[in-house]
């Protein structure tokens, strides 16, 4: 029977698990018993993309006790009893091939802690295997039925996933002044003491900068009141573009910040895609192209956004939350090709297949499907420019 109990209150620590703990994802039958008719536990969906991990052993990568609100941009939100597991990202298979590659949320009820030295079970009886197969079938049907929202006015498919439902899964705001979050960052292993102190100082600095833009004359403001990382777009009119035709496996270097700023408008957007302070930390770094991104789900509406000009994902490059109070969500940033340069295997600059093209692509200042940005800017780099800062 599906569980339809109300949200459980938690007054103690946000999770029992810690970074580095080895866990085993429970069986389909055990997970099915925790879910309501929407395939959720405490408002958090268990998604079809998670089924493949049932029975596998994984390591806790981060404790998901807080997250940045990318829907209403209200700042950080508190979440209880959830973790991120190493190597467990959504592949979008049940959600129209979305390429956002979100780090999946796992409720502790879906996991069991195991001793790293314990051997995995040898096997199960035919009867147990049959019961598990039936539970897996029922669970797959339940989850598949809940991957869609009601269609849009024009019949357009609207998707439903963990990212679109996070405000229900994490309804409580987590203010900057709530000191418990910093204690939990250290105790859970999400961040060390120095990293936590650095995050607090950056947060205080950003609040001072925000206040200074409201009460101080321009000549008294520190770097014009910019947030830490000091990114200010200088482009006027349509933002420029470049086409390198980058492919997975190629080696690239993120350009210097001084080279990227002229490609951004005052909202730090380049044709609807944002570049923020967290991304500026990677300027000058060399990485391999992991994928070309052509589609992603809009977390606000559930619409599938299709890009006229694909963006780039780089191997091992995530939003580490260094400037955002150590948010553990670890978005995979999307990069414009104009922010990158191809390099050879020996580290030297390589000749691009296609040179830069001055001016806007396709005669527009934005390359989202409908030609509108739909929001300010993003650290997680969605095509509609959602704000990822989340440290209010």
pLDDT at 138: 96
Question: Which 8-state DSSP code applies to residue 380?
Answer: S
**Can you tell me whether residue 362 is helix, strand or coil?**
helix
Average pLDDT over residues 363-388: 35
Q: Does residue 370 surpass a pLDDT of 70?
A: no
Helix 180-188 / helix 193-215 crossing angle, nearest 10 deg: 150
pLDDT at res. 349: 66
Do β-strands 269-270 and 273-274 pair in parallel, antiparallel, or remain unpaired? antiparallel
Q: Is the pLDDT assigned to residue 235 strictly greater than 90?
A: yes
Q: For a pLDDT cut of 90, what percent of the chain falls above it? A: 76
Task: Yes or no: say if 255 and 267 are a contact pair by the CB < 8 Å rule.
Answer: no
> What is the C-alpha to C-alpha distance for residues 103 and 90, in angstroms, rounded to an integer?
6
**How many angstroms separate the CA atoms of 64 and 62, rounded?**
6
Lowest mean pLDDT of 116-125, 319-328, 340-349, name the range: 116-125
CA–CA dist 229, 374 (Å, integer) = 24
**In the prediction, which pLDDT does 362 show?**
34
pLDDT of the residue at 126: 82
Top-confidence residue, 263 or 347: 263
C-alpha 114/C-alpha 111 separation (Å) is: 9
Dihedral sign (CA 220, 388, 383, 314): positive
Of 381 and 98, more confident: 98
Is 90 exceeded by the pLDDT of residue 113?
A: yes
The reported pLDDT for the residue numbered 125 is 80
**CA 117 from centre of chain:** 32
Task: Name which of 94, 149, 129, 109 is nearest 15 in CA terms.
Answer: 109
Q: How confident is the model at residue 13 (pLDDT cuts 50, 70, 90)?
A: low
Residue pointed to by tokens 């002229």: 262
For the record, the structure tokens of 303 come out as 């619409």
Which tokens is 235 given? 């482009």
Phi first, then psi: give them for residue 324, nearest 5 degrees. Answer: -130, 50
Name the band, by pLDDT with cuts 50, 70 and 90, for residue 347. Answer: low
pLDDT-derived band at 174 (thresholds 50, 70, 90) equals: very high
Please answer whether residues 190 and 63 qualify as being in contact, where contact means their C-beta atoms are separated by less than 8 angstroms. yes
Q: Taking 50 as the threshold, does the pLDDT of residue 379 lie above it?
A: no
Question: Contact 78/68 with Cβ under 8 angstroms?
Answer: no
> 380: Cβ–Cβ under 8 A, 6 or more apart, which residues?
70, 100, 319, 329, 331, 332, 333, 386, 388
| H or E element at residue 149 | strand 148-149
The Cα-based distances of 164 to 89, 146, 377 in angstroms read 16, 12, 18
pLDDT, tens digit, 9 for 90 and up, residues 288-313: 999 999 999 999 999 999 998 889 99
pLDDT tier at 9, thresholds 50, 70, 90 = low
Q: How far is CA 55 from CA 60, 123, 131, 142, 359, in A?
A: 15, 11, 14, 19, 52
> Stretch 339-350: mean pLDDT, rounded?
82
- Residue range 359-374: mean pLDDT, rounded: 35
Per-residue pLDDT at 121 exceeds 90:
no
What rounded mean pLDDT belongs to the chain?
Answer: 87
pLDDT top residue among 379 and 60: 60
pLDDT at 98: 98
Percent of the chain scoring above 70 in pLDDT: 84
pLDDT at 346: 76
pLDDT level of residue 2 (50, 70, 90 thresholds)? low
Ranking 15-29, 61-75, 153-167, 364-378 by mean pLDDT, the lowest is: 364-378
């Amino acid at each position: 029977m599906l569980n339809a109990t109300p949200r459980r209150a938690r007054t103690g620590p946000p999770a029992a698990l810690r970074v580095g703990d080895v866990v085993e994802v429970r069986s389909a039958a055990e997970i099915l018993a925790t879910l309501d008719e929407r395939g959720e536990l405490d408002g958090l969906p268990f998604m079809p993309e998670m089924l493949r991990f049932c029975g596998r052993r994984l390591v806790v990568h981060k404790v998901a006790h807080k997250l940045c609100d990318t829907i209403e941009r209200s700042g950080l939100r508190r979440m209880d009893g959830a973790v991120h597991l190493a190597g467990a990202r959504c592949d979008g298979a049940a959600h129209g091939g979305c390429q956002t590659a979100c780090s999946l949320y796992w409720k502790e009820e879906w996991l069991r802690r195991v001793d790293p030295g314990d051997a995995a079970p040898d096997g199960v009886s035919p009867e147990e295997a049959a019961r598990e197969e039936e539970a897996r079938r029922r669970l797959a049907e339940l989850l598949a039925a809940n991957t869609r929202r009601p269609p849009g006015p024009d019949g357009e498919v609207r998707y439903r996933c963990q990212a679109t439902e996070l405000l229900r899964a994490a309804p409580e705001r987590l203010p900057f002044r709530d000191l418990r979050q910093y204690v939990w960052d250290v105790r859970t292993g999400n961040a060390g003491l120095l990293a936590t102190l650095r995050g607090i100082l950056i947060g205080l600095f950003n609040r001072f900068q925000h206040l200074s833009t409201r009460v101080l004359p321009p000549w008294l403001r520190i770097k014009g009141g910019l947030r830490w990382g000091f990114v200010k777009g200088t482009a006027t009119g349509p933002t420029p573009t470049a086409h390198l035709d980058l492919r997975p496996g190629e080696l690239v270097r993120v350009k210097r910040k001084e080279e990227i700023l002229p490609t951004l408008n005052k909202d730090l957007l380049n044709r609807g895609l944002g570049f923020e302070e967290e991304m500026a930390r990677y300027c000058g770094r060399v990485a391999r192209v992991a994928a070309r991104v052509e589609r992603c789900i809009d977390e606000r509406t559930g619409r599938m956004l299709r890009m006229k000009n694909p963006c780039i994902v780089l191997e091992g490059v995530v939003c580490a939350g260094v400037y955002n109070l150590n948010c553990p969500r670890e978005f995979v940033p999307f990069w414009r090709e104009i922010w990158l340069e191809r390099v050879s295997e020996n580290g030297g600059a390589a000749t691009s297949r296609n040179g830069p093209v001055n001016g806007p692509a396709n005669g527009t200042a934005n390359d989202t499907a409908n030609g509108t940005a739909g929001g300010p800017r993003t650290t997680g780099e969605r095509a509609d420019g959602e704000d990822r800062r989340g440290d209010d």
